[in-house]
Structure 1
Amino acid sequence: MTAATSSHWLRVGATVAAGRLRPPVGSSRRRSVCGAARVLTGLGVRVEVHVPATAWPRTGTGPLLVSNTATALDPLALLTVVPGAALAGVPDRLAGVPVPTVPAISARVATQLRMGTPVSIRPEEGVWSGQGLGRFSPALLAAAVDTGAAVCPVAVRWRGAASPPPGGRSTMAAMRWLAASPGTVVEVHLLPALSSAGATPQELATTAEYAVAAALEAGLAAAEGPRPPRPSPAQGGAVNGAQGEGQRGPLTR
């Protein structure tokens, strides 16, 4: 560990400790958002938000945010971008920040959506490595079908001097990576919403997966230059209505 990295790591530790000793005051929502912003700032991270050309619709329910998993710290960035969102299947504290959570159970997610609460899910199946995009499980997408909630894909991409970011579910590994990569940017791409009307959970999962993959690949192309074209959703077994599954090759970030 270099002297610069060591110094940065000490600042990270001090930031997390300060958050535990002097948590933000106010509502639970404000504590979560301010705490997440404080930790990301302490880690030297800048959040870069990309909004869709058409605003997400208001349907009378909360939207269901469907995102990829890049690092264990993704939820902190999502909290700052969509304040008030409940995060499915994550710890109730992350890097010392209290996180509004909901069990990763379709019925529980549906209850939150009906109350008007945005819910964020990360439905990639299997063990993710940070290097590729896994298939999206349709299990929690049933909550959108049951409630009529809009499905809003979200692509999360980190870029920094130390690349690529670590995979796995270790918060500490992600923080170590950031300590060695000052000036890191996390891009949060809010993509056009998908209507759940008349769709199946599998169709929504497949279409959201391809929307996120396209945004991630566009980001890589911008950073690294042109890449070989990937089969379109129609060629890979997914169309706007997402017909079929299991017919495409691996997606890359």
Structure 2
Amino acid sequence: MSTEPNKTDSGLNASSLKLCTEKLNDNNFANWRYDMKCALGIMNLDHYIITHTAALKAQPDYDAKLKLVTNYIRFHLSRDKSHRFVDDLDTYDPKALWDSILSYYAGRTVENTANLMERLHDHTFDEADMQTSINTFRSVYKLMLEVSSGRFDKNTLEALWIFFVIKRLPSPFYVFRTLQFSSWKDDTVFSMTTFLSALETELRRQKEVQAQATATATALATTQNFRQNQSNQSHGSNNNNNNRNRGRRPFCQNG
């Protein structure tokens, strides 16, 4: 049974063309690659960025699809990245274009490893947007592991970067940091994936505590306002009664 894509229309045309992700830049490659592969897969065009089989080349719309996929990738490049990766606008080779982008950003070179480590080192965990900070760090870290594969002892590498993250965490994570250090033993196998999951769990816990505290404070303020209003109404009623009593003439039984 053939595993080649069928000859159905991809549904992509000039009038419906839109970005599936933000255009490629030096800070978003990992997310860009993921989104692009998903988009091409949904359109049944992902076969055009891997080795082209004889069956694929034999399809009657092969040349049209080459042009389509090439331009779709180009459409997701910023202007400076287009200048870097596109030499000839009249050449339509999506696999070569895709490979050149992957080689530049994810090639297993010392330079790529160093560049990604520098990004990790400069990363800031923003207390106001911790989840985004965690997501960004995770994405860059996974790419660093990919390009540095085989160069370093993995457990040592994971431990060093986990220690780095712990020391960079904002002050509300002091207890979390202490508990993490106390849980590690001499034979601990370190995992950034597990660590970041634990960090996200702690983040959710803190948000729940904060939400509960806010709800409690709101309820307390509402109760106090209600009691104050009741007290004001009671004082007002007493004052009215006193005023009415002072305004009455004394009743004289003897005329």
TM-score (norm. length: structure 1): 0.26
Higher relative helix content: 2
TM-score by length of 2: 0.26
Structure with more of its chain in strand, by fraction? 1
Q: Which has the higher Rg, Structure 1 or Structure 2?
A: 2
Q: Tell me: higher relative CO, structure 1 or 2? Use CA pairs within 8 A at least 6 residues apart.
A: 1
